Amino acid sequence: MATSAFGVILAVLASLIISANALVAVALFRLIQKSGYNGLYFVLNLAISDAMVGFTVISLAIDELSQPFYPSQTFCILRMAFVIFSSAASILSLTLVACDRHLAIRKPFHYFQVMTGLRVGARLVGLWLLAAIIGFIPVAAPGFQHLSFSTKARCSFFGVFQPGYLFIVFCVGFFPALFIFIYLYCDMLKIAAIHVQHIREVEHAGLAGRCRPTRTTSDMKAMRTVAVLTGCFALSWLPFFIASIVQAMCPECFPYQVIENYLWLLGLCNSLLNPLLYSYWQKDVRLQFVQLAASVKRRVLLHLGKGPHFHCRSTKPLPAVSCVQLQDSHGKESCPSPPPQL
| DSSP symbol at 205 | T
Given a cut of 90, is residue 49 above it in pLDDT?
yes
Which of 223, 225, 263, 257 has the alpha carbon at shortest distance from 242? 263
Evaluate whether residue 319 is within a structural domain: no
List, in sequence order, every beta strand (DSSP E) within 73-218. Answer: none
Domain containing 225: what range?
A: 2-298
Sorting pLDDT into bands at 50, 70 and 90, what band is 329?
A: very low
Q: Does residue 163 surpass a pLDDT of 70?
A: yes
CB atoms within 10 A of CB 289: 16
Query: What is the per-residue pLDDT across 111-158, written as a single tens digit (0 to 9) for each?
Result: 888 888 898 999 999 999 999 998 898 888 878 887 665 555 667 777
d(CA 120, CA 3): 43
Q: Is residue 55 part of a domain?
A: yes
Vertex 110: Cα angle to 104 and 114 (nearest 5) = 85
> How far is the C-alpha of 14 from the C-alpha of 3, rounded, in Å?
16
Structural domain contains residue 250: yes
In the chain the first and final C-alpha atoms are separated, in Å, by: 92
**pLDDT surpasses 60 at 326:** no
Residues sharing a CB contact under 8 Å with residue 260, sequence separation 6 or more, in sequence order: 156, 157, 158
pLDDT value, residue 16: 93
Pairwise CA distance, residues 151 & 71, whole Å: 7
- Is residue 307 included in any domain, yes or no? no
Residue 163 lies in a domain: yes
| 32 closest CA partner among 19, 45, 20, 49 | 45
* CATH number for position 293: 1.20.1070.10
Strands (E), the chain: none
Grade residue 10 by pLDDT with cuts at 50, 70 and 90: confident
Task: Read off the pLDDT of each residue in 61-83 and give the average, rounded to a whole number.
Answer: 78
333 compared with 266, residue with greater pLDDT: 266
- pTM (2 d.p.): 0.77
pLDDT of residue 130: 92
User: What is the enclosing helix (H) or strand (E) of 9?
Assistant: helix 2-35
Check residue 17 and give its pLDDT.
93
> Average pLDDT, stretch 89-108?
86
Residue 312 pLDDT? 44
In a domain, 190, yes or no: yes
Domain count, the chain: 1
- Residue 317 in any domain: the answer is no
pLDDT above 50 for 266: yes
For residue 341, the 8-state DSSP code is P
Q: Which band of pLDDT confidence, cut at 50, 70 and 90, is reported for residue 330? A: very low
Q: How confident is the model at residue 2 (pLDDT cuts 50, 70, 90)?
A: low
